[in-house]
Structure 1
Amino acid sequence: MSSLADAFKPHEKLAAQLIPHACGTDDGSHDIAHILRVFRNALRIHAEEGGNGAVLAAAVLLHDCVSVEKNSPLRAQASRLAAEKASGILAGLGWQADDVAAVAHAITTHSFSAGITPETIEAKILQDADRLDAIGAIGVARCFYIGGRMNSGLHDVADPRAETRELDDKRFAIDHFPIKLFKLAEGFQTLTGRRMAAERHDRLVAFYNDFLEEIA
């Protein structure tokens, strides 16, 4: 555990406390590797945008402590449930109520599905850091991994570009690009996050175009 916690420097002591609670699922797109990537994204943004580092680190470590599958009717409630669980964990570790509330707000608002606007810099950074992991090369990999978990096909053989049909990312993984992934870069909260998102968005578009060209 210590070597894994060390990857979360300079918050390795906090990580050692929270890693056992961090993942609420066997979903490989929301595992400890995802949390570490989000943490590193958050550190890059935090270095330029500021905020409370401990609150941000705790929010990152616990933002997926309750995970709900993408096709579950409870999906929109996942971040609220995670915030409630995180609040109990941090209170049990002796955190001050204001800091617990700050972490809970960041976790509650980070989710695309929740549709809640983040109000604090820590919440804005967490949302940006998490969404960065949904675009770019990592976003492509996660999209198809999740498609496999949901038993989706790669694309519609007859109409891969959805020119004469409705987009349906429950049936075809590639449809998730225009349905959601291409829209994520528009909603970033911080200047640093927007800059990072623009680079990853370009990679996402390039993959999509190459994919469609190869199956044409």
Structure 2
Amino acid sequence: MTVSRWQQRFDLWLAEHSGQADAAHDAAHVRRVWRTARYLMAGEQVDEVVILTACYFHDIVALAKNHPQRHLASKMAADKTETILKTCFADFPEYRYAPLRHAIEAHSFSAGIAPQTLEAKIVQDADRLEALGAIGLARVFAVAGSLDIALFDSDDPFAQRRALDDRRYALDHFRSKLLRLPATMQTAKGRAFAQSNANYLVQFMGKLAAELQGDFNGVDADVLERFTLRDTVC
């Protein structure tokens, strides 16, 4: 069966079974991850069906960032995906279960599982790119709103005199996780996109810093200098 046909079937399943996912982990998110994965895997010798399936089901179990079992969510998602496939897609090839499980389990930042296959590396990169750039910026504040997290600490927005705490302040999440993502990327294409899109977030930080100082036209050069990611040789 072609990849396109599998995608059509998965889309139908999602339309019938997807619940009230949060704005950062809805059906549109998984389709964007698949679109990004297609770009990352172009020209590579990979199992496209494994990548497609992992992209579509990697967040089938999505726990809130403040959930005590957040680090286990990707394993739960792998378990649930296998159950769904065996129940609703009985013709899904059994030999794909193991690489699919690994790709789903390894996608998670919280799980800390290193991807061992190119398929898993591509899925991880594609998912992490969703956390950067304009989409990532929107997702950060969407999640913060759903969890009643403050936008930033008005007394010390850039944590110059306190420890970072992204469970209290959305802006802290930029430094505690998002700006660290480019260093974790597994593919050359992923690294290039991640660095560019992380610096988009830094530009936002610089604009925010300027506005907090009453400058509504400029960008805080000190913030840009402190946080902009530089080109690295990999």
The answer to whether the superposition gives a TM-score over 0.5 is yes
1:88 aligns with 83
Distance 1:207 1:10 in 2: 40
2:143 aligns with 146
Change (3 A) 1:133 1:10: farther
Deviation at 1:23, TM superposition (A): 4.5
1:103 aligns with 100
Unpaired runs of at least 5, structure 2: 214-234
Deviation at 1:14, TM superposition (A): 3.6
1:4 aligns with none
1:159 aligns with 156
Is the aligned partner of 1:136 residue 2:136? no
2:171 aligns with 174
Give a deviation string over 1:128-177, Cα, whole Å, max 9, x none.
00000001111111111111111111111111121111111111111111
1:31 aligns with 26
Is the aligned partner of 1:196 residue 2:183? no
Deviation at 1:67, TM superposition (A): 1.2
Deviation at 1:16, TM superposition (A): 3.3
In structure 2, which of residues 43, 60, 63 is the aligned counterpart of residue 65 of structure 1?
A: 60
Number of positions where the alignment pairs a residue of Structure 1 with one of Structure 2: 209
Distance 2:17 2:99 in 1: 17
Instruction: Report if aligned partners of 2:7, 2:52 keep a CA contact under 8 Å in 1.
Output: no
Change (3 A) 1:99 1:136: same
Structure 1, 41-50 or 140-149: larger mean CA deviation: 41-50
1:42 aligns with 37
1:54 aligns with 49
1:183 aligns with 180
2:208 aligns with 211
Structure 1, 46-55 or 138-147: larger mean CA deviation: 46-55
Structure 1's consecutive aligned runs of 4 or more residues displaced over 4 angstroms after TM superposition are: 8-11, 20-25
Deviation at 1:49, TM superposition (A): 3.3
Distance 1:42 1:196 in 2: 12
Unpaired runs of at least 5, structure 1: 1-7
2:218 aligns with none
TM-score (norm 2): 0.83
Q: Which has the higher helix share?
A: 1
TM-score (norm 1): 0.90
Change (3 A) 1:171 1:9: same
Structure 1, 62-71 or 47-56: larger mean CA deviation: 47-56
Percent identical residues:
41
Distance 1:21 1:108 in 2: 24
Change (3 A) 1:72 1:24: farther
Give a deviation string over 1:189-210, Cα, whole Å, max 9, x none.
1111112212211211111111
Distance 1:21 1:55 in 2: 22
Question: Larger relative contact order (C-alpha < 8 A, sep ≥ 6)?
Answer: 1
Q: Which amino acid aligns with 1:46?
A: M
